[in-house]
Amino acid sequence: MERDRSSSYVAAALLLVCISLASAPRGTEANIFGGKLYQKAQQDCILFMGINPLRLDQYKKFVYPPDRDTMCLIRCIGISLDFWDDILGFDVDLAEQEFSPLVDATFKKYLAGNITLKLELLDPLDNCARAYYAFRTFRAQIRQFIGTGTTTMAPSVNFQPLTAVQILDIIVDCAREVNLPPSFLTSLTKGIITDCPEVQCFIRCAAVRTGLYTDKDGALLANLHRQLDPPGEDLASFSLRQGMCLQRNQQPPTADCCTRAFKQFFTCLRPDFEQFFIRNRETVMQHFLYKTDQPAEGQAAPMVQNNVLDPFGGNMGMILSSY
């Protein structure tokens, strides 16, 4: 009876979700398994199925415990985004399309076999459980393959998470070392991150010096997870989420080290760093960058000659800007 009722809720939800997604252009999505279409379908399914909205934060981090609501949520998302069908099962062809060239014909066959083995153990009439465990198997297999050459899971033995203030100190040092002129720093304080060689090397400098990135291994995901400590998100979920983004933004072999750090590492990790600094707002505001005396009304802002840090001017924009 409970299973029938859940299926009825999902069926009703799907009609509304499909209507709400009908006008969304899929061609603009980088990957339906983690992009905006996925998040919208997830949010709509939660709303229409009557799932507690407080669980949305958990689901946004791809944390899906095996309870009934979550299982039916995955089925709702899967049907609305066409990666699950109650009769045909999980669409491995779509997975190949979305993750190409990571998922090739060989891996697709391996993935299909593993999903089939899992579904054979389940009640053939329980479509919520079948969709959930097919999706879970898919994620587990992708996690093993994703990010080759772009991420490193193992943390440095000597890695110790830094405080927000220590990271700010590194940002200051790197800005000085790559000779960022005031115009670039002014843009940074406004949250405008200019894509130019100097700023790219500034990002690389900060990423390497914090122990979160190397030119050889790329993003050090275990270190990043320890450093950022994203609320409610374990290492496996964090690594899958970031790995998908890093894979989508992988740079060609001809790209230089600064370009790779900026267009891959920074593109994917910037939102998480912003949240980290927001959570540490009180200590961030104690840093000397934000202790600059404000000019009296009618007076010009003081300028310190030969001080590359002056353009920060106590502005939180560089750290807390939206992405």
pTM for this entry: 0.54
Of 139, 121, 2, 16, nearest in space to 72 by CA:
2
Question: What integer is the mean pLDDT of 44-65?
Answer: 89
Whether the CB-CB separation of 201 and 178 falls below 8 Å is answered with yes
**Mean of the per-residue pLDDT values of the chain:** 75
Exposed, middle or buried by CB within 10 Å (0-12, 13-18, 19+), for 296? exposed
Q: What confidence tens digit (pLDDT) does each residue in 151-174 have?
A: 455 555 578 899 988 998 888 888
Give dist(CA 282, CA 269) in Å, integer: 22
Is the pLDDT confidence value at 304 over 50?
no
Cα 85–Cα 87–Cα 93 angle in degrees, nearest 5: 50
Give dist(CA 126, CA 132) in Å, integer: 10
Choice between 70 and 15, residue whose per-residue pLDDT is larger? 70
* DSSP type of residue 149: T
Q: What confidence tens digit (pLDDT) does each residue in 61-93 have?
A: 888 888 999 999 999 999 999 999 999 999 998
Q: What confidence tens digit (pLDDT) does each residue in 106-138 have?
A: 888 888 998 998 888 889 999 999 999 999 888
Walk me through the domains of the chain, giving residue ranges and CATH numbers.
36-148 (1.10.238.20), 164-285 (1.10.238.20)
Which residue type occupies 15? L
